[in-house]
Structure 1
Amino acid sequence: MSTFIWIAVALLLIGVYLSWTAGRLDRLHTRIDAARAALDAQLLRRASVTLELATSGVLDPAASIVLYQAAHAARQAEEEQREVAESELSQALRAVFGEPAQVEAVLQAPGGEETAGELAAAVRRVPMARRFHNDAVRAARALRRHRTVRWFRLAGHAPFPLAVEMDDEPPAALVERAGR
């Protein structure tokens, strides 16, 4: 009888551990979903402000066309091409706002200070949102690699989480001058 009780206690403890681990994994997947939604919102905000600036007439025509095409491509990109399109938008922003003179021209235009401030805030938030998402992905991947999770299939049918790898470095001149 005593052996039966010890086996029952051991099975109960294993069951509690597996349930706790499955709950933790579920919370990590929920955190990934929330972080991905936040990242998508920041990317959309950055593209929207860029489009607004590109069509405002504040920039010279060549810069406007470069920013408009990159922002439009980022907003219209399919999920498979999204990281590439967002990286190209980052590169276009750095190309246009690489020189402080271009930032000053925007700041001097009517309403330019507000628009430049919005854009500076948007480009600063994208790397933070991507970092939060990738941290959640890293934690979920680490937990999913554990033998217990694999053997008991605690992840269920949830897809393996993927990190977002893209160029999101903001233009330094814009962040320094307009991001104050």
Structure 2
Amino acid sequence: MGLAGLVEFSWLMLAVGVVLLLLGAYASWTAGRLDRLHRRVELARAALETELARRSALVAELAGSDILDPASALLLLDAAHRARAASLESLEVREQAESALTRAIHATGTEVEPWAGELALAVRRVQLARRFHNDVVVSARELRRRRLVTWFRLAGRAPMPTTIELEDGR
């Protein structure tokens, strides 16, 4: 191998090194982004859980306030209790219980003062928290489906995030 062959080989090795360096930097950046998205999913899930708990507590308080007729109060109290108890169950059971609470809120026509504004705000906050959570989950899932992420297993052992599907009064 002459000097020209050695120079050509050096350029080739330098090009391969640069490509590997760029690929490694991109993989590192993607893994960091994925990690940040997973943390955002966890934070959004916690915010949604907080808003769901706040809504069921408000509904239970309304049901116990003697403002509503006994049938409406019992329906709301039962739905709020089931929603709270379902937080320890599977995601599907939780979604069904929270959807039932939403239907109970709308069925009872809880537009009594001074609760109407506060309850409407709680329902709206649940809607926004769920929408934000699902948006972040969709972003994380899209990134996890990329070839580089699956080939190099950049997601690690983190479970695939799931969206929360429930009737929230939209």
TM-score using structure 2 length: 0.90
Aligned-partner Cα distance in 2 for 1:118–1:37 = 21
Long gaps (5+) in structure 1: 108-112, 171-180
Q: 1:42 aligned to 51, 54, 57, which one?
A: 51
Instruction: Identify which range, 20-29 or 71-80, moves more after superposition.
Output: 71-80
CA distance, structure 1, for counterparts of residue 161 and residue 145 of structure 2: 12
Say yes or no: does 1:54 pair with 2:63: yes
Q: Secondary structure of the residue that 1:126 maps to in structure 2?
A: helix
C-alpha distance in 2, partners of 1:27/1:51?
Answer: 36
The number of residue pairs the alignment matches comes to: 158
The within-5 A match list for 1:80-159 is 80=90, 81-97=93-109, 103=111, 106-107=112-113, 113=114, 115-159=115-159
Match in the other structure for 2:85:
76
- Structure of greater Rg: 2
Runs of 4+ in 1 over 6 A off after TM superposition: none
CA distance in 2, matches of 1:17, 1:153: 14
- For residue 117 of structure 1, give the secondary structure of its aligned residue in structure 2: helix
Residue deviations 1:61-120, cap 9 Å, x none? 0000000000010011134111010000001001001xxxx62xx22xxxxx1x332211
Q: Describe the superposition over 1:28-66 as per-residue Cα deviations: whole angstroms up to 9, x where unpaired.
A: 111111110111111011000000000011111000000
Please report how far the alpha carbon of residue 5 of structure 1 lies from its aligned counterpart in structure 2 after TM superposition. Answer: 1.4
Per the alignment, residue 162 of structure 2 pairs with 162
Q: Identical aligned pairs, as a percentage?
A: 55
The TM-score, its normalising length taken from structure 1, stands at: 0.85
In the alignment, structure 1 residue 7 sits paired with structure 2 residue 22: no
